[in-house]
Each structure stands twice: as C-alpha cells, then as structure tokens.
Amino acid sequence: MKVLEFEVRSGGSIRIELEKCESCETKACVKMCNTQGMGQILELKDGVPALKYSLEEVKRGACTEDLGCELECELHGNKALVITLPLPELDEYLEGLSEQPTYLREA
Amino acid sequence: MARLPEYQGKALFNRKGIPVPEGRFVQSADEAMNVVHELGFPVAIKAQVLSGRRGEAGGVLFAEDRDSLSQAVAELLGKRIQGSPVEGLLLEERAEVQRELYMAVTADPSTRQPIAIFSPKGGVDIEETAETEPAAIFTTPIDILRGFYYYDAMDLLRQGGDLESRQMLTLANLFTRLYQVYREYDCKLAEINPLALVVQGAMALDARVDIDDDALARQTTLDIDFAEEAGERAATLLEIAAATIDEKDHRGTVHFVQTDPDASYAKTTGKIPVGLDAVGAGTGLTIMDELVPLGYYPIDFCDSSGNPVGSKFYRITKVIMAQPHIEGYLFVSCVSSQQLDNAARGIIKAFKELYPRSGGRPNIPCVVVFRGGWDDVAVELFREHGISDGRWIKVLGRDTTEKETAEIFGALYREWKKETGGL
C-alpha cells in the first residue's frame, strides 16, 4: 500500500493512504492546506498529495496542525487521511478513573 | 506556580546552609518506626500537603514514644486536609523553640522586583499579621542586579526592634541564604514561617517554596511535575496531562486548572458541574460570573492564548471532556484575534472521536461561542460537519454576550435534564 506518513511538531503523525487519493476527485486536503491552512505543506505530485518540505522541516513546525486536511478529506475526499495526536498522560488518567467520563455513558 | 512540599523546600534550604530540624520523609508506619531510631523522641509528625493552615486542620502531631508515633502516623496518612489526601509525612526532631519569627523573599508585582520581608511575629499567617498588626511587618526592596547583602539584611532586621546583636548576625546570614534560594531556584516565594530562635541559633521550622512554573524547564534538579497554577494543592493527574500539551509545542498556549477536581464543591453547594474552555482569561472569568448565579459551576478553568494550533484545541477538549463529573461543556471566545477556525477544527475532531456513533454530536448540553477572527468560518464548520444539528449543542456567533451564553446554556441544560434525566 502506498502511504505518505509524516510526524508533526506536537508529537503525532499524519498518514495518507495514497491509493485512495488516486481516485479522489476533489483533492480536498491539498486545496485546504494551500488556502485556509497556514502551513501550505502539501502539493499534488503524480495526482496524489506529496510534501513540499522535508520530513524534518515538517516535524519542526512547517505543518501548522490546523487539522483542516483531515476534516476536508473526511467530508469531501476519500477518507484517506488520518491525524493521530496522542496524549499518553491523558490515557493514563482515563485508565485510573473509577467513574466513566460522560461521553462514554448512554443518556 | 509549583509549590514544593515542606520536606522538599527544606532540602533546598539545607543545600544553601539554612538550618532545619533533622528529619525524614516517610510514607508508612514501618518507615516511621525505622526513622525514629535515628531521630529519637520526641518527634513532630507533619502531613505533607500543600495547603496552608495545616496545623489548624490537625495536620501536625507530636509523639513522645512508639505508641503515640504509631497512632499519629495512622491518623495522618490517608487523612484529607483542605481536600488534599495526605500521602506522605515529615518526621522531624522536635525543636526547643525560644521565639518564632517570620522571614521571606518574594516578588513584588507593584515594583516588579524582589522584596525581603521580616516580622518578629512568626508562626501565624503573614496575611493575618498584615491585617491585625501591620506595623509588625518590615520590608525592603531588592535590586536584582545588585543583590541582597548581609548589611541589607541587618538594616531590615534592625527595624524589627528587640533582637539581640548575636541573633541579628545569625538572622542576617540566614536572610542572605534565603535570597540565594529565591534566586537560584527561580522562586516566586521563599518563606520561613516560623523561623525559630533556638539555643544553637536559628532554624527553619517550616518551608514554603513556590517555583515560577515558567522556569521549571531549567530547574531540572527539582523533579517537579510540570503543571499550571494549582493553588494550595498538588497538581492533579489531569492537570499534569494538560500541561504536557504545551511542553513540546511553542505555538500558542492552553492553560488548564481544575477548580473543583472531584466536583465536591459544586455538589455541596447544589450547583451543576460543567467543563469550560475560554479564549481569553477575562472571558473565562466573565462567563463563570454569569454561570454561577444560574446554578452552574465550571469545575475547570481553561484559557488559550497566542493563537494555538488546532491540535492543541483537540487535545485540551479531550482533557476537559475527560472530567467524569461534568454535566455540560462550554467553549467561549472573547472577540479575539485568534484564528477561531483552528479552535473549531480541534473541537470538531475531538467531538467526532468522543462521540463516534452520533458523528460528533454530544450527549451532554454544550454551547460553543465563536467571536473574533474567522468566527464565521468556525460556525460554518460545525454546520458543515453536522454537529450543529445535534440536539444538545448550540453553536453561536459574535452577536452573543456572555450573559446570553449562560442563559442559553441554562435553557439547554434544563431541557436535557427533563428529557434524559441526566447521565
């Protein structure tokens, strides 16, 4: 599977399944990144998203983590892009809770 | 601010040559029994909590023998003082005190420089002395470039009146060392209260050391969990988690503090606990002022600043929503220059992950208010992603006041409670 994956400044990563992008008609992620997005790190290369910057530059902050690419891809693209932003300390906190957060409860 | 427990504060004093009673930190009765072999009786047993007025709350006991020590340790460990559980004790030799004084170095915001404070009235809160006997407090500003010397301390102590010359020499020496603690460890406050005059000279019977949390990155030897302002208690696990958000990323900040971590205050006062995220601390305070009279109590205070990236909003939203006691959530921005579409994307991504089955539509009453830069885009994003259509969420724009926000939240909460019975 062709994948573009890169790390971001805050400690997380963006993964794009490029095979899904081949059939994407909107290329919404690239459009978003270069219009409303501040980073402007994505471009189209051979019909699929590619990085304008090196992996190191992206990780140092070229990607501004506005999250627009993922949300646009989900709405208008082929759901090919996933942003993972871990917060291990929050996971530890949740594991130790004796009471569930309300989002896990049924109304 | 990161407040050190007394035993850690005293360790810093010790490093700088400020005498403290011989003592050890213990966390069990067995440890206490071992330690007392070295210290001997009588001993003081002091609960290691960060809250003030510990003595009045029964957090300091004394033991003359093994039985009374065992009893005291059992009584203190697990006790709650001002809401904080006692997880450790400081066992100390009991000092023979001749007289109690007060000594501190802190930052004076009005002059923007350190200030040395001395009072012959030790052992009581300095705030209390300031009210009841303001003439018994003596201060001198410190020129941070010049430093604080022995003779500066002598001048200050001399104002205090009735000290013997030998005592003044001892105290002046100690004062300059306290200033070294203040400077070297980036303190906001280094306080000894009481400072005891004893046969051998003088001794710090207590230690209150508040470190500036903006300086923690360079205070690596202190082993402090990085946390935002937590007041007179240790940082909670959730606060520590929230503080890591800014740790690796300089692009904007999110400050998160739990104002009522277990929602006990809200519950005992009959208020509904809610989660709050504000853009602008002033807006956070204003919305709290509007919510509280209506019966809703924000159990956290969260403020973002410096145009944080969307990922910070995503993470902080998950932190706020992780509080198990909240029965509602509000995001309220001031009319800010922040790019609010970033905030919106962060909240939307978090909501979609927290509520996957409903496509991000929350199951508790939520009000989000966007006022400022890109507010129209932010509102539109919630509509576009179908979250605005949720039954229990209202997405509002720049024409909404804080008062209206609170009232709209109140109406939504009442409707939710009536229909669902709550969670």
CB contact under 8 A, B324 and A99: yes
Residue B203 has pLDDT above 80, yes or no: yes
When the candidates are 3.30.470.20, 3.30.420.40, 2.60.40.10, 3.40.50.970, the CATH number that belongs to B99-214 is: 3.30.470.20
A70-74 long-range contacts (CB < 8 A, ≥24 apart) are: A70/A14, A70/A29, A70/B349, A71/B345, A71/B348, A71/B349, A71/B381, A71/B385, A72/A28, A72/A29, A72/A31, A72/A32, A73/A24, A73/A28, A73/A29
Contact B381, B352 (CB under 8 A): no
CB contact under 8 A, A11 and B345: no
pLDDT per residue over A5-58, tens digit each? 999 999 999 999 999 999 999 999 999 999 988 889 999 999 999 999 999 999
pLDDT per residue over B86-118, tens digit each? 999 999 999 999 999 999 999 999 999 999 999
Residue A70: closest C-alpha in chain B: B349
CA distance B326 to B226: 25
Closest CA to B331 of B362, B293, B294: B362
> pLDDT band for position B311 (50/70/90)?
very high
Closest CA to B69 of B87, B50, B102, B91: B91
Please name the residues between 41 and 100 in chain A that touch chain B, using a CB distance below 8 Å: 61, 64-68, 70-71, 75, 83, 85, 87, 89-90, 92-94, 96-97, 99-100
What are the tokens at B337? 């220059």
Residue B1 has pLDDT above 70, yes or no: no
DSSP label at residue B232: S
Residue A91: closest C-alpha in chain B: B241
CB contact under 8 A, B251 and A64: yes
CB contact under 8 A, A66 and B363: no
Q: In terms of residue numbers, what domain contains A80?
A: 3-104
Q: Which fold has domain B237-420?
A: Rossmann fold (3.40.50)
pLDDT per residue over B54-95, tens digit each? 888 899 999 999 999 999 999 999 888 877 789 999 999 999
Q: Which pLDDT value is given to residue B209?
A: 94
Instruction: Domain count for chain A, please give it.
Output: 1
Residue of B319 and B215 predicted with greater confidence: B319
What integer is the mean pLDDT of A64-87?
Answer: 97
Q: Which pLDDT value is given to residue B225?
A: 63
CB contact under 8 A, B341 and A105: no
Q: Which pLDDT value is given to residue A2?
A: 93
Residue B418 has pLDDT above 70, yes or no: yes
Q: Which pLDDT value is given to residue B213?
A: 80
> pLDDT band for position B129 (50/70/90)?
confident
When the candidates are 3.30.1490.20, 3.40.50.80, 3.40.50.150, 1.10.3720.10, the CATH number that belongs to B22-93 is: 3.30.1490.20
Answer whether B99-214 and B237-420 agree in fold: no
> pLDDT band for position B231 (50/70/90)?
low
B256 - beta bridge partners?
Answer: B302
Q: By three-state DSSP, how is residue B37 classified?
A: helix
Distance from CA of A35 to the nearest CA of B (A): 13
CB contact under 8 A, A92 and B241: yes
Q: Per-domain residue ranges for chain B?
A: 22-93, 99-214, 237-420
Cα dist from B45 to A40, A83, B33, B70, B77, whole Å: 61, 51, 12, 10, 10
Phi, psi of A65 (to 5 degrees): 50, 45
Please name the residues between 23 and 52 in chain A that touch chain B, using a CB distance below 8 Å: 36, 38
* C-alpha dihedral sign at B25, B31, B35, B40: positive
Q: Within chain A, how many helices (H) and strands (E) appear?
A: 5, 5
The full 3-state SS of B93-143, as one line of letters, equals ECCCCCEEEEEEEEEECCCCEEEEEEECCCCCCHHHHHHHCHHHCEEEECC
